Amino acid sequence: MHIDLADLDFWRKPLKERHEAFARLRELEHPVFFPEKKVPLLRSGKGFYALVRHADVVEASRNAKIFSSEPAVTNPEPPGWIKQVFGESMVNMDDPRHARLRRIVTRSFSPKMLAGLQSDIEAACTRIVDDLVAEGPRDFVSQVAARLPIHVICDMLDIPQELRDKVHQHVDISTAYTGVRPSLARSVQMAGQNMLALLALQRMVIKLGHERAADPKGDLVSLLVTANVDGEKLTDKELGSFFSLLLVAGNETARNTMAHGLKILTDNPAQRELLMSDFDKHIGNAIEEMVRYVSPIMQFRRTVTEDYSLRGLELKKGDKVVLFYGSANRDETVFPNPDTFDITRETKPHVGFGGPGPHFCLGANLARQEIRTMYRELLTRLPGLRATGEPELLLSNFDNSVRSQPFTF
Ligand code: HEM
């Protein structure tokens, strides 16, 4: 089997074939180098080493001094407009800049803040299922999975109701940037739309920031723009970039876990039965297993800051490595029978939320809370809920994204 992870044709293959290819790469002694291919609108770099084993992904995540998140974590090189919009985003930064931003925004994901959101998340899930029952089943993504995460982010930021339609409109356009377009013309058109949509959203949140700095409320924007005990707060640009990051990081990922999750539960009826035999007991680990099995973010990149030996591979300063989370999550030395969905397995070391280290997903607990609440509402009210066909996937090397999923209840 010819395997070229830098070739977009690889990412067109069905998921099963891709998993088989990664299993082959994991058998090799050293990480393989893939020279970069020319991709419309993305600058071609020199290529990357693919980290496909669990231990390698963990090592690179943990050792952020050697494996830098700067200048960016996407692969291939992001186009200039992405840097413009996400430039001040902490996901693309190393310490001390990263640590400062993370310190400021971590407050908004504290257990207390998340507990305060629960009744709102429950109300949103009830409304989504009410609407579903009234409308009848068409597409699980647009009717269910896509609705909750964006609603929760808007609530955290206390986006005024009259602006929410605009946010919803822009978000679908702006978060599609990781998808691969069929043609250069379409790429150019989409990139233009993406950038304008994201910049419009940033302007909106910066304006809110100014209003809330003068008249703070209990929401996330107020928290971020007013100084805390150490006198730390976000600048306008940092607030705009953080909002963009939340929309991209917190929206697609949770929605894709929920969408893939329905198909997985449909394909594994015994696991679903086990889950429903004691929902509270099993749901926590079932969500971890879903995130492991799906790996909603398929890859992030790091750039090597000094010569380093990784499992006998001599990396040079400036080399790029790409961390393939989906492959690490199916490493047979850590997860026996990795292609089996098993809600009782030991899932603790999965890297679906990133490896251990400074960039570990900030929103992991929020994502868990959203998925748990949504599934409780769905599976208890609609016991006949199931997927009725294959999902339509977005062509992307980054986002394991479901565009649509036929279903019934
Ligand atoms: C199932 C859902 C999710 C998955 C699979 C996921 C996955 C990830 C991964 C793999 C990273 C690591 C980036 C790296 O190491 O470079 C990350 C970081 C991050 N995630 Fe998530 N995420 C999810 C949900 C969320 C949600 C709901 C939010 C917020 C609303 C969020 C916000 C973030 C942020 C802000 C970062 C950057 C952290 C930093 O650089 O310090 N994520 N996520």
Write out the DSSP string of 301-321. Answer: EEEESS-EEETTEEE-TT-EE
Of 70, 245, 298, 361, the residue with max ligand 1 atoms within 8 A of its CB, to mutate for a pocket test, comes to 361
Nearest ligand 1 atom to the CA of 92 is 40
The residue ranking higher by pLDDT, 101 or 340, is 340
Please report the pLDDT score of residue 306 as a whole number.
97
| pLDDT at residue 38, rounded to an integer | 66
More confident residue, 177 or 210: 210
Lowest model confidence (mean pLDDT) among 172-176, 272-276, 380-384: 172-176
What is the whole-number distance in angstroms between the Cα of residue 408 and the centre of ligand 1? 31
Separation of alpha carbons 122 and 352, rounded Å? 25
The predicted structure's pLDDT at residue 242 = 87
Q: Give the residue with greater pLDDT, 218 vs 343.
A: 343
Higher-pLDDT residue of 318 and 174 is 318
N-to-C CA span, the chain: 40
The owner of tokens 């669990």 is 54
Q: How far apart are CA 12 and CA 15, in angstroms?
A: 9
Q: Which range among 33-42, 124-133, 174-183 shows the weakest confidence by mean pLDDT? A: 174-183
> Can you tell me whether residue 323 is helix, strand or coil?
strand
Which residue do the tokens 């291919």 mark? 37
The first and second tokens of residue 27, run together, are 């058998």
- Nearest 5°: the CA angle 149, 103, 148 is 5
CA separation for the pair 205, 198 (Å, rounded): 11
One-letter amino acid for residue 129 of the chain: V
Tokens of 56: 């390698």
Question: Which residue is associated with the tokens 């994901």?
Answer: 109
pLDDT score, position 304: 97
pLDDT of residue 181: 46
Per-residue pLDDT at 177 exceeds 50? no
Residue 32 is predicted with a pLDDT of 94
The residue with greater pLDDT, 226 or 369, is 369
Tokens of 111: 């257990």
User: Rounded CA gap, 17 and 2, in Å?
Assistant: 11
Structure tokens at 370: 């959203």
The answer to whether the CB of 318 falls within 8 A of the CB of 304 is yes
Nearest-CA neighbor of 91 among 71, 77, 109?
71
Average pLDDT over every residue of 220-241: 83
Distance CA 397, CA 179 (A): 8
Ligand 1 proximity of 372 Cβ (cutoff 6 Å)? no
Which of 40 and 99 is assigned the larger pLDDT?
Answer: 99
Q: What is the mean pLDDT of residues 156-184?
A: 69
Distance CA 209, CA 223 (A): 10
Please compute the mean of the pLDDT values over residues 370-374 and round it to a whole number. Answer: 98
Banded model confidence at residue 123, pLDDT cuts 50, 70, 90: very high
Phi, then psi, of 161 in degrees rounded to 5: -55, -40
List the beta bridge partners of residue 33.
Answer: 49
Residue 44 has pLDDT above 70, yes or no: no
Give the pLDDT confidence score for residue 85 in this predicted structure. 61
Pocket of ligand 1 contains residue 91 by CB under 6 Å: yes
Taking the centre of ligand 1 as the mean of its atom positions, its distance from the CA of residue 149, in whole angstroms, is 13
The CB density around residue 230, as the number of other CB atoms within 10 Å, is 9
CA torsion sign, 226 to 230 to 235 to 240?
negative
Could you give the percent of the chain with pLDDT greater than 70? 89
CATH superfamily ID and name for 8-408: Cytochrome P450 (1.10.630.10)
- For residue 42, the model assigns a pLDDT of 54
What are the angstrom distances between the C-alpha of 122 and each of 119, 146, 155, 250?
5, 16, 13, 18
Domain limits, the chain: 8-408
The Å distance, Cα 251 to ligand 1 centre, comes to: 10
| Structure confidence at residue 220 (pLDDT) | 87
Task: Return mean pLDDT, the chain.
Answer: 89
> Which residue's CA lies nearest to atom 1 of ligand 1?
254
What is the number of residues in the chain? 409
Q: Whose CA is nearest to atom 37 of ligand 1?
A: 91
- The conformation of residue 322, written as its DSSP 8-state character, comes to E
